[in-house]
Amino acid sequence: MQNDNLIEIERLAFGYGKRSILKNINLTVKRGQVIAIMGNSGCGKTTLLRLIGGQLKPSQGGVRVAGESVGELDRGGLHRLRRKMGMLFQFGALFTDMTVFDNVAFQLREHTDLPEDAISDLVLMKLHAVGLRGAAHLMPAELSGGMARRVALARAVALDPTLVMYDEPFAGLDPISLGVTGNLIRRLNDTLGLTSIVVTHDVHESLKIVDYVYFISDGVIVAEGTADEIRASGSPFVHQFVHGEADGPVPFHYPAPPYVDDLKLGEQGA
């Protein structure tokens, strides 16, 4: 019987040397869901994606994807598992010297033995799904930011992955492109039977499309819940994050001695 949880993370810890990034993370992602991971910059969101993808290995605990312990896989096992994953990088990360068509075709040419006519059909199908079949001949420099993000999304789903991970998919987009991208993430997830993890700072757009949200602060999960539960949360951290307040659990001021003490030191130096 297939496990409903595509991803299971238990007691996960990770750090660089003595610098701790993630501490005792427990997180599950059910098949078919769109999950958001939110938190302030540097809290470990992208690091978590790298642990799921096997680019990094946990210091403690484990990450299981589709029943496999990612940190224990050899190179061949990781390659096999990553074939089931798609990734949309920040700002798209398209190959600048390839056309839109060739960007989407790249993985199909690298990882399958399909004939070129079959690859062409699949590429046009994916581009049509994101509304850009007519832009297949364009170069990345000819695309707007929103169009580039949609091409990157077509490339991320080119191999029909089980899991797609999005690293800040809304960054730098205008309101129209932002809404289009959010709707595409949800629609492709449901239409193609995907599971999606969205790392983002964009609370309001994300809450329109996600099934569940995890908030990370200082390397630990400080809140979690459905979109409605997050909107109604009484957590000071969640309230500050959702409403974009300058001060709260995440302080506006970097730690410093009392201001008057610094002034006195300045007077002494004079």
Over residues 158-176, mean pLDDT: 86
136 vs 219: CA distance, rounded Å: 41
190 vs 187: CA distance, rounded Å: 5
- The predicted structure's pLDDT at residue 101: 94
195-199 and 34-38: which strand pairing? parallel
| Domains of the chain (ranges, CATH numbers) | 31-46+80-247 (3.40.50.300)
pLDDT at 252 exceeding the cut of 60: no
Distances (CA, A) of 115 to 101, 123, 163, 201: 15, 12, 25, 41
- The predicted structure's pLDDT at residue 186: 92
Over residues 72-82, mean pLDDT: 87
- The predicted structure's pLDDT at residue 149: 86
Which position has the higher pLDDT, 39 or 119? 119
Which of 62, 31, 26, 65 minimizes the C-alpha distance to 214? Answer: 26
Which of 182, 174, 189, 91 minimizes the C-alpha distance to 140? Answer: 91
pLDDT at 269 exceeding the cut of 70: no
φ, ψ (nearest 5 deg) of residue 232: -95, 5
pLDDT at 270 exceeding the cut of 60: no
Backbone dihedral region for residue 135 (phi beyond 0: left; psi -120 to 50: alpha; all else: beta) = alpha
Which position has the higher pLDDT, 251 or 226? 226
147 vs 137: CA distance, rounded Å: 13
pLDDT at 196 exceeding the cut of 60: yes
Distances (CA, A) of 196 to 91, 107, 121, 134, 164: 18, 19, 25, 27, 5
pLDDT at 134 exceeding the cut of 80: yes
- The predicted structure's pLDDT at residue 248: 60
| Average pLDDT of the chain to the nearest whole number | 84
pLDDT at 267 exceeding the cut of 70: no
Cβ(150)–Cβ(131) under 8 Å?
yes
5-16 and 60-65: which strand pairing? antiparallel
User: What distance lies between CA 173 and its chain's CA centroid?
Assistant: 16
pLDDT tens digits along 29-51 = 999 999 999 877 767 788 888 99
